[in-house]
Chain A
Amino acid sequence: MSRITSTDDTARVASDERQTEAAALDDGPINILIVDDEPKNLVVLESILSIPAYRLVRAESAEQALLALLVDEFALLILDIRMPGVTGIELARIIKERKKTSQVPIIFLTAYYNEDQQVLAGYDAGAVDYLQKPVNPHILRSKVAVFAELHRMQRELGRANQALHELNDTLEQRVAERTQHIRLLLGEVNHRSKNMLSVVSAIAQQMRAENQQEFVRHFSQRIQALAASHDLLARSEWKSIAILDLVRAQLGHFQELMDRRISLNGPSLNLSVSAAQCIGMVVNELATNAVKHGALSNQDGRVEIAWRVDRGAPDENFTISWVEHDGPPVVTPAHRGFGSTVIKSMAELSLDGAVELDFAQSGLTWRLACPTTRILSAKDAR
């Protein structure tokens, strides 16, 4: 049978079919089961519905139809009511009772459209539409196109639903990961705070010998030095600090003396967190001493701060020195306070190094040597 042409509706049906065909490019054809005991009726249906968007499966009996329904998923059934053996109505009931096929729409083909009893039985059995034989090709194509579109939309909805479920799972997993990460960070912050309090407490404990006025002044100065290093470390997310930034931060009070009376010299190095904390405290103590008694206590004194890495076998060595010139004559202190603990015992213990401290009359010299592995951040040590 040839297609009917030249009616207004034909254009619409053709457009529906084109849409269905376009969709089929993405999804593959949709399956339509056609059931009729008369082979020539099947041939008619096939010729009317022959477009790439449809894959037609033919069955000449209810048994063949049920078999086909077991194998494939169908978007639509076109079913002849009058068949010998199991009739179309009975077949429809079986199909509607099976969970897997209960949602498949059924169009009945009948020669008895006007017989009310048949129509009612058909609707009872789950039919969604009727077509009277002989089939009007235009109406059939139009109805099939509607069901094809419905099926395509259902498929799309199913996919969108699936995608949403997956997205939801992903989001839930991400939230769980973030929560876990935040929990870890909070634990870390708690740990760091308590550690910092312990450091503050240790400083206070070791400064007990000083008189009260001095204590308060020196104590708060030392807390500020800790805070300066802490700022830099927090900004680097507790990874590493460039040595130049660290030393400059600790000499923040002497900005105007920088370059003129304080010189910094050495390669760029990224210090580990613990090394940065240690060297930061040392520089603060040396600077405080220089301002009070040393090269920064007069108008002409100078401080040379230099560091270097000696790359020689068997171990790489890091050296940093603080050398004062042109200050007032140096007097070896009679008693060693907390400052000397920091620049000697603490530095040696912390960096597994050796400190030389020379109170030469011409100016104080402090020099630390330690293995490079003790001061570099893990990234740079590699």
Chain B
Amino acid sequence: MNGAAPRLRVLVVEDDALIALDIARQLTNAGFQVVGPAVSVARALKLIGEHGCDIAVLDINLGDKETSEPIARELRSRATPFVVLSGYARDEHAPAFAGAPILSKPASPSELIATLLSCTAAV
């Protein structure tokens, strides 16, 4: 797996810290360079500004009525692909997420990694 993912920088956005740490650990083990993880919109936008990223994993709902929509818009403006993680059914997503691959929670690590790789291959 390390060979297939040449230190791609992946931003992880997930409001549950435990899930965020788990995803970060899985991606690190798979050879990605993890940016974050971020549990809020403000933190994620700051990380994008300071470090940039090649791809991102976004949980849609970030608690306290916040969603990762502003992050999705920022990534689109930078033509950075992202994968969406969601506990919600497919028809509930805002337009900012349209077209992005959606993984339903809980996503299996191999599925997440495979989806991330297919996204970067397409760029």
Contacts and interface: CB of A to CB of B under 8 A. Distances in A.
Interface string B15-32: 111111111011000000
Contacts of A194: 87, 104-106
Interface stretch (A165-173, A303-311, A342-350): A342-350
Contacts of A193: 87
Contacts of A162: none
Contacts of A349: 17, 20-21, 37, 39
Contacts of A192: 87
Nearest to B63: A274
Contacts of A278: 17
Interface of A is mostly: helix
A300 B21 CA distance: 37
Contacts of B17: 278, 345-347, 349-350
A313 interface: no
B111 interface: no
B21 A341 contact: yes
B102 to A, nearest CB: 13
B64 interface: yes
B109 interface: yes
A187 B87 CA distance: 9
A378 B64 contact: yes
Interface stretch (A12-20, A66-74, A100-108, A202-210): A202-210
A61 to B, nearest CB: 71
Interface in B61-116: 61, 63-64, 87-89, 92, 104-107, 109
A198, A201, A274, A278: most-surrounded residue (chain B CB, <10 A): A198
For this complex, into which size category does the number of interface residues on chain B fall? Answer: 20 to 34
B64 A198 contact: no
Contact of A205 (B22, B89, B104): B22
B19 A198 contact: yes
Contact of B18 (A190, A281, A378): A281
For this complex, into which size category does the number of interface residues on chain A fall? Answer: 20 to 34
B16 to A, nearest CB: 6
A205 B110 CA distance: 13
A176 interface: no
Contacts of B25: 205-206
A345 to B, nearest CB: 6
B97 to A, nearest CB: 15
A268 interface: no
Given A190-B89, A349-B21, A205 B109 contact: yes
Nearest to B85: A198
Given A187-B89, A187-B92, A191-B61, A198 B106 contact: yes
Interface in A152-210: 187, 190-195, 197-203, 205-206
Interface of B: 15-23, 25-26, 37, 39-40, 43, 61, 63-64, 87-89, 92, 104-107, 109
Given A191-B87, A202-B106, A277-B16, 9 more contacts: A187-B92, A194-B106, A195-B19, A195-B87, A195-B105, A201-B22, A206-B21, A206-B25, A272-B63
27 contacts: A187-B92, A190-B89, A191-B61, A191-B87, A191-B88, A194-B105, A194-B106, A195-B19, A199-B16, A199-B19, A201-B22, A202-B19, A202-B21, A202-B22, A205-B22, A205-B25, A205-B109, A274-B15, A274-B63, A281-B18, A341-B21, A345-B17, A346-B18, A347-B17, A349-B17, A352-B39, A352-B40
Considering the complex of A and B, which 7 residue pairs feature the smallest CB-CB distances, nearest first? A350-B17, A194-B87, A202-B22, A198-B106, A349-B17, A191-B87, A201-B106
